[in-house]
Amino acid sequence: GAGVSQSPRYKVTKRGQDVALRCDPISGHVSLYWYRQALGQGPEFLTYFNYEAQQDKSGLPNDRFSAERPEGSISTLTIQRTEQRDSAMYRCASSPDRGGRDTEAFFGQGTRLTVV
Amino acid sequence: AQTVTQSQPEMSVQEAETVTLSCTYDTSESDYYLFWYKQPPSRQMILVIRQEAYKQQNATENRFSVNFQKAAKSFSLKISDSQLGDAAMYFCAYRSRGNQFYFGTGTSLTVIP
């Protein structure tokens, strides 16, 4: 696609419900990243993938959070039994391999999650 | 793990003047990339400029330039002839050999008309 696509753009859920956030990276991008961003703060790393392999999940806050990228393209970030403190903007980014011309992370518009 | 530090939470500049945003990072790698991103109120993340660590020449993109000091692990952004549209959060970022991106906490830039 033309850019990184995230869905839904907005999600309101009741506390205790599970949510799944989707990220469709730029076609051919090797790496895919999940970040969480509070207002006025920098992106907080959650996890990232090279192809389908999850390289680092050290940023996931607890075991309610999980992510997958089964075919090395689309990724899903799942939050189980949501809590109010999970409310934030969740951002996905993708990047090509380091050897190419483009080296930066390309960001999606984000999913704003509100847990009520 | 690499860390990226932006020590200026807020900066302001008069329109048409020049401002420098600072960034330092910590790494043991020799081959990496550095970036500045801009985040306007729309909360989009927009690439401003990139620097490859093996290049000694400082990157320049129109009114934006960097001062890359590899030995000091410093990567500052200079904005010349500041415009109202430059008002935004600015994030410094580091890309590691393993393709991980690390971000600083950001500097909020205000442009005074």
What does the block give as tokens for B109? Answer: 């830039």
Taking an 8 Å cut-off on Cβ atoms, the answer to whether A43 and B89 are in contact is: no
Examine the pLDDT at A101 and tell me if it is beyond 80: no
User: Strand A75-79's sheet: what is its strand order?
Assistant: A5-7, A19-24, A75-79, A65-68
Q: Please, are residues A19 and A10 in contact by the beta-carbon 8 Å criterion?
A: no
Looking at residue B71, its pLDDT comes to 94
Looking at residue A69, its pLDDT comes to 97
Q: Distance, in angstroms, between A59 CA and closest chain B CA?
A: 12
Cα separation values, B56 from A99, B21, B23, B67, Å: 18, 20, 17, 10
What does the block give as tokens for A1? Answer: 């696609």
Q: How confident is the model at residue A39 (pLDDT cuts 50, 70, 90)?
A: confident
Expressed in percent and rounded to 5, the helix, strand and coil fractions of chain B are: 5, 50, 45
Q: In chain A, which residue's Cα lies nearest the Cα of B106?
A: A42
Could you give the dihedral angle defined by the CA atoms of residues B23, B25, B29 and B32, in that order, rounded to the nearest 10 degrees?
A: -30
How far apart CA A104 and CA B47 sit, in angstroms, is: 8
| Site of tokens 């906490």 | B105
Looking at residue B56, its pLDDT comes to 85
Looking at residue A61, its pLDDT comes to 95
| Site of tokens 């970030």 | A77
Range A26-47 average pLDDT: 92
Looking at residue B17, its pLDDT comes to 98
How far apart CA A48 and CA B47 sit, in angstroms, is: 20
Q: How many CB atoms lie within 10 A of CB A46?
A: 21
- CB-nearest to A103 from B43, B95, B100 is B95
Examine the pLDDT at A1 and tell me if it is beyond 70: no
**Neighboring chain B residues of A40 at a CB cutoff of 8 Å:** 89, 106, 108
How far apart CA A103 and CA B51 sit, in angstroms, is: 10
**Neighboring chain A residues of B103 at a CB cutoff of 8 Å:** 35, 42-43, 45
Examine the pLDDT at A100 and tell me if it is beyond 70: no
Taking an 8 Å cut-off on Cβ atoms, the answer to whether B45 and A93 are in contact is: yes
Q: Please, are residues B58 and B76 in contact by the beta-carbon 8 Å criterion?
A: no
Listed as ranges, residues in chain B with pLDDT below 70 are 1
Cα angle vertex B61, ends B71, B8, to 5°? 55
Beta strands in A1-116 (DSSP E): 5-7, 10-13, 19-24, 31-37, 44-50, 53-56, 65-68, 75-79, 88-95, 106-107, 111-115
Q: How many CB atoms lie within 10 A of CB B58?
A: 15
Alpha helices in chain B (DSSP H): none
